Amino acid sequence: MIISVASGKGGTGKTTVSTSLALALDRIRPVLFLDCDVEEPNAHIFLKPAIATTEKVHRPIPMIDYDKCTYCQNCSDICAFNVLAVLEKTVLIFGELCHSCGSCWYQCPEKAITQTDKEIGLIESGKSQNMDFSNGKLNIGEAMSPPLIKAVKAKISPKKTTIIDAPPGTSCPVITSVKDTDFCILVTEPTPFGLNDLKLSVEMLREIGVPCGVIVNRADIGNDDVLRYCTRENIPLLMQIPFDRKIASLYAKGTPIVVEMPEYIEKFQNVYFEIERMVQS
Amino acid sequence: MKELLIISGKGGTGKTSIAGSFAALAAPVVLVDCDVDAANLHLLLNPEIKEEHEFFGLPKATIDKDKCTGCNLCQELCHFDAISEGMVNPFLCEGCAFCFYICPEQAISLRDNVCGHWFISNTRYGPMVHAKLGIAEDNSGKLVAEVRKNAREAAKEKNLEIIITDGPPGIGCPVISSLSGIDLALIVTEPTLSGIHDLKRVVGLCKHFGVKTAVCINKYDLDEKNTRTIEEYCAEEDIQVVGKISFDPSVTKAMLNGRPVIELAQLNVSQQINAMYNLIYRQIST
């Protein structure tokens, strides 16, 4: 089973939930943890994996063979992303804008465009206790994260329960992360900001057909609007975590809740069993 | 005209609460919400929408079943796996138009795609430009650019000197789009190991693009050891820590009431935010 953890709004406790859930499950079954928040990966701070391998991730961008190029401008005319600018004696390539769609190198009438690899980030993999761990780290200045997220997700193995920590928001990086997962846990907080972003996430998940449930973090800091919304929309409430200075302080130090507060191990395992029941029914 | 951008790397550090408070302090001012996927500033400023505009992304492909012969060339060549069984999945189509050009039967056309809306609104502190990206749409960087362009026009038109922008989290496309032409990026961080990690990445991004930065440590008293680590890091990087804001549940209470916390002027946090704003104002106005 593949469970993604997302949140709409950042800072609601996504990584707190995903790492504690993974550690609680690691005691009873094989687990793979994937940190897909490649812009700001944080799970390694909590899981402290021993990194065994680092691989660079590339994506193809166009390269011009000037012996063949006739400066016909076909490539710049067909490129939807304004990557290529054909000048009198040269072709400028803005690689950051390239979506690697392949259109220019396939369609060049002179076969003058080939592909070259642009490095966009890396994947670090290793073990945290029994758990397999991988995260993606996007290179600074690289705008597009989905190709790196896809490379991280290529690690998914059907033999293991996979937990995916997704980035915040509701657009392409999150969609790439949660797509084709069996269930998505949405972590929120009971405030107007939390509710606003939860609604956007729920709409997004409904569009792409991924079932979801909610964990309310800092459950006592705000009002009941999030709970009322979940009841009205028939979204299962999986758990409530109170605002507790001890939890905040553990988070600050990078210690997962289940490590210092073992009473949470069973709670997170129960969240998993409930999800399993929902997915199988 | 001066542009102040508030970003954070990590989400949930208090960017929007600070942006809302700055709005009240700087008024009249132009306000911008560049977190187009999950905008929140409107929840504090209760904007009254004056203009609504459609935002067009790249057109998406559709296949005309009557012309399609099922040769599957489009499916083979689409790098986004957006085509299967003669149908285009609009969530996966990135609008590159590759299939449109190569279809031997000219069975593929491109359809206009409204992928979001942007708004010009009135708030009690000045005009606000904000947006809502459609559900499951991309192009957030382009929408950010559109929103910012209109904010500059609003500032010119109303003769306002300062633009305050609530930025998106992360270091990817929408953040990069928010950084261009900014006078100062205020990075809001929190004293947690995750906060420190993400602060370093966003500082790296600002350096990469040559943007001047300052740092605010929000909830600094939650972990004073981590706060010292942030201060030492900023000293090494030659970045000024312009504010240290206490952890105070009143900030959440103000949010629940839909008001910037600064309006509760007697609070310690409000005084800290006010002092920070004055320091920043001096920096950007010289």
Q: Please report residues of B whose CB lies closer than 8 A to that of A115.
A: none
Q: Do B169 and A12 touch (CB under 8 A)?
A: no
Q: Is B53 helix (H, G, I), strand (E, B) or coil?
A: strand
Rounded Cα distance between B23 and B10, Å, is 22
Helix (H) / strand (E) element for B92: namely none
Q: Do A82 and A131 belong to one domain?
A: no
Q: Do A124 and A99 belong to one domain?
A: no
Q: Do A91 and A227 belong to one domain?
A: no
Paired tokens of B93 = 């189509």
Do A226 and A257 meet the contact criterion of CB atoms below 8 Å apart?
Answer: no
Q: Please report residues of B whose CB lies closer than 8 A to that of A191.
A: 252, 255-256
Rounded Cα distance between A250 and A257, Å, is 7
Q: Do A20 and A147 belong to one domain?
A: yes
Q: Do A84 and A223 belong to one domain?
A: no
Do A64 and A89 meet the contact criterion of CB atoms below 8 Å apart?
Answer: no
Q: Do B82 and B211 belong to one domain?
A: no
Q: What residues 41-70 of chain B have any CB closer than 8 A to a CB of chain A?
A: 43, 58
Q: Do B224 and B281 belong to one domain?
A: yes
Nearest Cβ partner for A45 among B11, B172, B197 = B197
Q: Do A256 and A190 belong to one domain?
A: yes
Paired tokens of B276 = 């920070």
- Strands (E) located in chain A: 2-6, 31-35, 50-64, 84-86, 91-93, 113-128, 131-138, 161-165, 183-188, 212-217, 237-241
CA distances from B40 to B11, B35, B274 (A): 12, 8, 21
Instruction: Indicate the residue among B96, B112, B128 that finishes a domain.
Output: B112
The domain in which residue B107 lies consists of: 60-112
Paired tokens of A257 = 């809740």
Give the CATH number, domain containing residue B177. Answer: 3.40.50.300
281 residues of chain A, pLDDT tens digit each: 999 999 988 889 999 999 999 999 999 999 999 999 999 999 999 999 999 999 999 999 999 999 999 999 999 999 999 999 999 999 999 998 899 999 999 999 999 999 999 999 999 999 999 999 999 999 999 988 999 999 999 999 999 999 999 999 888 899 999 999 999 999 999 999 999 999 999 999 999 999 999 999 999 999 999 999 999 999 999 999 999 999 999 999 999 999 999 999 999 999 999 999 999 98
Q: Do A124 and A224 belong to one domain?
A: yes
Number of domains forming the structure of chain B: 2
Nearest Cβ partner for B256 among A10, A40, A191 = A191
Among B193, B248, B199, smallest CA distance to B226 is for B193
B171 touches chain A (CB under 8 A): yes
Q: Do A185 and A257 belong to one domain?
A: yes
The conformation of residue A169, written as its DSSP 8-state character, comes to: B
Q: Do B123 and B135 belong to one domain?
A: yes
Number of domains forming the structure of chain A: 2
Rounded Cα distance between A66 and A226, Å, is 60
Could you give phi then psi for residue B109, rounded to 5 degrees?
-125, 170
Q: Which residue of B has its CA nearest to A96?
A: B173
ipTM score assigned to the predicted complex: 0.91
- Preceding amide of A190 cis, omega within 30: no
Do B230 and B243 meet the contact criterion of CB atoms below 8 Å apart?
Answer: no
Q: Do A172 and B140 touch (CB under 8 A)?
A: yes
Q: Do B242 and B120 belong to one domain?
A: yes
Nearest Cβ partner for B172 among A145, A191, A222 = A145
Do A209 and B135 meet the contact criterion of CB atoms below 8 Å apart?
Answer: no
Q: Please report residues of A whose CB lies closer than 8 A to that of B254.
A: none
pLDDT of B42 reads: 96
Q: Do B68 and B193 belong to one domain?
A: no
Q: Do B225 and B93 belong to one domain?
A: no
User: Which string of b and e fits B234-246 if b means at least 16 CB within 10 Å?
Assistant: beeeebebbbbbb
Q: How far is A226 from chain B (nearest CA, A)?
A: 12
B198 Cα distance to chain centroid: 16
Q: Do B213 and B71 belong to one domain?
A: no
Rounded Cα distance between A119 and A137, Å, is 11
Q: Do B52 and B105 belong to one domain?
A: no
Give the CATH number, domain containing residue A70. Answer: 3.30.70.20
Q: Do A188 and A105 belong to one domain?
A: no
Q: Do A252 and A184 belong to one domain?
A: yes
pLDDT of B92 reads: 86
Rounded Cα distance between B125 and A257, Å, is 42
Among B180, B159, B206, B183, smallest CA distance to B286 is for B183
Q: What residues 230-249 of chain A have any CB closer than 8 A to a CB of chain B?
A: 248-249
pTM: 0.94
Nearest Cβ partner for B40 among A12, A196, A249 = A196
pLDDT of B11 reads: 86
Rg (alpha carbons) of chain B, rounded to whole number: 22
Q: Do A49 and A80 belong to one domain?
A: no
Do B162 and B26 meet the contact criterion of CB atoms below 8 Å apart?
Answer: yes
Q: How far is A269 from chain B (nearest CA, A)?
A: 25
Q: Do B65 and B151 belong to one domain?
A: no
B123 Cα distance to chain centroid: 19
286 residues of chain B, pLDDT tens digit each: 999 999 998 888 999 999 999 999 999 999 999 999 889 999 999 999 999 999 999 999 999 999 999 999 999 999 999 999 999 998 889 999 999 999 999 999 999 999 999 999 999 999 999 999 988 787 788 999 999 999 999 999 999 999 999 999 999 889 999 999 999 999 999 999 999 999 999 999 999 999 999 999 999 999 999 999 999 999 999 999 999 999 999 999 999 999 999 999 999 999 999 999 999 999 888 7
Q: Do B150 and B89 belong to one domain?
A: no
Could you give phi then psi for residue B172, rounded to 5 degrees?
-90, -155
Q: Do B190 and B217 belong to one domain?
A: yes
Residue to mutate among A35, A39, A220, with most B CBs inside 10 A, is A39
pLDDT in tens, B168-205: 999 988 999 999 999 999 999 999 999 999 999 999 99
Q: Do A101 and B96 touch (CB under 8 A)?
A: yes
Residue to mutate among A15, A19, A40, with most B CBs inside 10 A, is A40
Instruction: Indicate the residue among B112, B131, B154 that finishes a domain.
Output: B112
Rounded Cα distance between B198 and B117, Å, is 30
Give the CATH number, domain containing residue A14. Answer: 3.40.50.300
Q: What is the mean pLDDT of chain B?
A: 95
The domain in which residue A74 lies consists of: 66-111
Q: Do A180 and A274 belong to one domain?
A: yes
Q: Do A11 and B10 touch (CB under 8 A)?
A: yes
Q: Do B255 and A192 touch (CB under 8 A)?
A: yes
pLDDT in tens, B210-227: 999 999 999 999 999 999
Give the CATH number, domain containing residue B91. Answer: 3.30.70.20
